Amino acid sequence: MDDITSRDDEKRLELAREQGRQEEQRHQKERDQAAEAGRAKGQEEERARANAQANAQANAQTIAQANANAREKPVKQGWGWGAKIIAFLVVLAIILAVIGLLTLSVSVMTISTNYALPFTTSYGVTFPEGQSIAIGNSHMTVLSYQNELISDIDGDRQKLVIGEDRVISERRAVITTFGVIKLMDTNFQINLKYKGDRDNVAYFDMAIHTSQQVPDMLLKRLLPPEINAQPM
């Protein structure tokens, strides 16, 4: 009887131990499943955060590029218009300068008021012999004879030898452009020093004395194209 009771107790103990192992295995499986679910959830959340961050960066880059394009576009357009305006003004200035040169004129007349002539511009000039040359409103003709030069200025003849002077009396010159714009109004007097002649060409040192400082470009408008004037 005792043996039977012991065997029953052992069976019950074995059954209890088996149930305990099964229960422990079930709990362990549940813990493993929970841990796996936690890891999967963590990975999913990490992927979601990474995707959200990537989307945010992409949106930020898109917005930054759009802002840069918006800032750059008006600047390019503004510079384009500015370049066109500058080019137009340059072309207009060139056109006006050309017209101004083409319409540049010098009127020479008798002086109405005497002024000091403190400004002097000097040239080396040549006069073709036997040809009437207009300097301002005076007409000059030169002709060599042996070692002398006969100079005729407005009908007043004088013989010159090398080193002698001849004076074209004081005049008034008014320089205008576009027909109405006055650039200069000056009195002037011309002194000529005879330097000799060669091959039917008479050489002079010319000094032009003026009451105002006159640019060389304007001053040469007083001189005819028939003479060759080189600054000294």
Per DSSP (E only), the strands in the chain are 105-109, 119-128, 133-135, 138-145, 148-153, 156-160, 165-177, 181-198, 201-210, 228-231
pTM beyond cutoff 0.75: no
On the question of pLDDT at 76 being above 50, the answer is: no
Summarised one tens digit per residue, pLDDT across range 139-183 is 999 988 777 889 999 999 999 999 999 999 999 989 888 878 888
Summarised one tens digit per residue, pLDDT across range 31-71 is 777 667 667 666 776 776 767 677 667 766 777 777 776 66
Summarised one tens digit per residue, pLDDT across range 178-208 is 878 888 899 999 999 999 888 888 999 999 9
On the question of pLDDT at 90 being above 60, the answer is: yes
pLDDT at position 75 is: 44
Candidates 160, 139, 154, 155; CA nearest to 203 is 160
